[in-house]
Amino acid sequence: MMRPRRSLLRGVFITAYIRQLPESFKNIEGEGFTLSKNDVYNKIVSPLRIAHLLEVNERSAVHGSKVKTPDPFNQEKQMAEKKEWIQFKGVERTGARRHIVLVSGDEEYRSEETMPMLAKILATHHGFDCTVLFAIDPNTGLIDPGCQTNIPGLHHLDTADLMIISTRFRELPDEQMKYIIDYTNSGHPVMGSRTATHPFMYSRNLESPYAKYSWNSETFEGGYGRQVLGETWISHHGHHGHESTRGLINPVFSDHPILKGVEDVWGSTDVYEVGNLSGNSDILLEGQVLTGMDPSDAPKADTSTMPIAWIRTYTGDENKTSRVFCTTMGAASDLTCSDLRRLLVNAAYWCMEEEIDANNCVDTIGKFNPSYFGFGMHREGLYPSDYE
């Protein structure tokens, strides 16, 4: 009879030990290290089980055994694929813990790349816990910006201190949309970027109680974009894909905290046309149309500027008032501009009424090679876990 391998025995004993630990168990602490219950399993037990399974496979091959054992690496891949959202735990920080939920879902400007990187910056440099949501194909579990009817994980808004939204023409099921509207009416802050001015479009279920939030709504003029963020979709003001955007600080609000350390904002996306902003909007940045797609290109002659970043408040159905920040910039390619990243990070602090430091770190985390904007140009075959 074959004796059990040491790797298996060690795994069995450690697994038994973990299972008998009380639910209140938090950490194993020693000199210079701390292991959580999950760490013990993931870093000790799981590798031992994998080693044992590999030994079994090897012996089976040698002896011609037809006994099949599961591929542990494939199992781990399948586990990762089932995750419909990703989360980043914030580093230790002074003050209360904060939870930010970032909602992606647009076909053109690669919010599925923007939001994970922004979340990493906010978690790694600033200590905010971040949850990133995606448009998911329900049949495959893959990220699909073209899927307009499914963004799993919106229940995380129940514990959010800030929502950052960058969706375009979504028509979500009522049970998902309810989380967004309940959050918006709660008095908690909202940040919108790029296509968030036209985040929803209802055509399938016009009887939905949320149909009024459609970008072209007449009963709730301009829908969510205009009523909550300040403006809905009108048109491109610059030549899309040919004329980029230079951000100009509005001298009236040059000392606003959101503009601390912000000096040179540029983005490859064009300026959106913006009409009269609704409510009590204060314009922080104007967008200047450039003649080309390089930061050094000259301003386009005889072309007016348009607001590209502003703040306002919104009072919802529960008579609770929210701080709101909106920018019509925010494509993944725009995020290569450090001062735009600073603008967004500062806005998050302002929305949550936290003190802003002009020297806050806004460096990207790891490699960041964003895809260029355009329809049908998203990176296919990726799961949320691929952006961790």
How far apart, in whole angstroms, are the C-alpha atoms of residue 330 and residue 340?
8
pLDDT score for 74: 53
Tell me the mean pLDDT in the region 231-238. 96
**For position 298, what pLDDT does the model report?**
98
Q: What mean pLDDT do residues 351-379 have?
A: 96
- Residue 32 pLDDT greater than 80, yes or no: no
Q: Which domains does the chain have, with CATH numbers?
A: 6-81 (no CATH), 85-351 (3.40.50.880)
What is the spatial distance between Cα 333 and Cα 294, in angstroms, rounded to a whole number? 12
Backbone angles phi, psi at 193, to 5 degrees: -135, 145
Structure tokens at 198: 């036209």
Mean residue pLDDT across the chain:
85
pLDDT in tens, 53-72: 334 344 434 444 343 344 44
Contact assessment for residue 28 and residue 35, using Cβ atoms and an 8 Å cutoff: yes
Structure tokens belonging to residue 56: 């079994």
Predicted local confidence at residue 81, as pLDDT:
57
Over residues 205-222, mean pLDDT: 97
pLDDT at 363: 98
| Interval 285-344: pLDDT, tens | 999 999 999 999 999 999 999 999 999 999 999 999 999 999 999 999 999 999 999 999
| pTM (predicted TM-score) | 0.80
pLDDT band at 93 (very low <50, low <70, confident <90, very high): confident
For 189-198, write each residue's pLDDT tens digit: 999 999 999 9
Neighbour count for residue 264 (Cβ, 10 Å):
12
Residue 38 pLDDT greater than 80, yes or no: no
Question: Which positions ≥6 away from 364 have C-beta within 8 Å?
Answer: 117, 120, 121, 335, 341
- What percentage of the chain has pLDDT greater than the value 70? 79
Average pLDDT over residues 107-122: 98
**What percent of the chain lies above the pLDDT cut of 90?**
78
Instruction: Please compute the mean of the pLDDT values over residues 87-101 and round it to a whole number.
Output: 91
The alpha-carbon radius of gyration of the chain (Å, integer) is: 24
**118-133 mean pLDDT:** 98
Across 206-215, average pLDDT? 98
Q: What is the pLDDT of residue 78?
A: 53
**Does pLDDT of 108 surpass 90?**
yes
Report which of 363, 347, 385 is spatially closest to residue 253, judged by C-alpha positions: 347
pLDDT tens-digit map of 136-185: 999 999 999 999 999 999 999 999 999 999 999 999 999 999 999 999 99
Mean pLDDT of 248-254: 98
H or E element at residue 80: helix 72-81
Average pLDDT over residues 278-291: 97
Q: Report pLDDT for 94.
A: 75
Q: Which residue has the higher pLDDT, 50 or 372?
A: 372
What is the Cα–Cα distance from 64 to 58, expressed in whole angstroms? Answer: 10
Predicted local distance difference test score (pLDDT) of residue 96: 84
Q: How far apart are CA 137 and CA 382, in angstroms?
A: 11
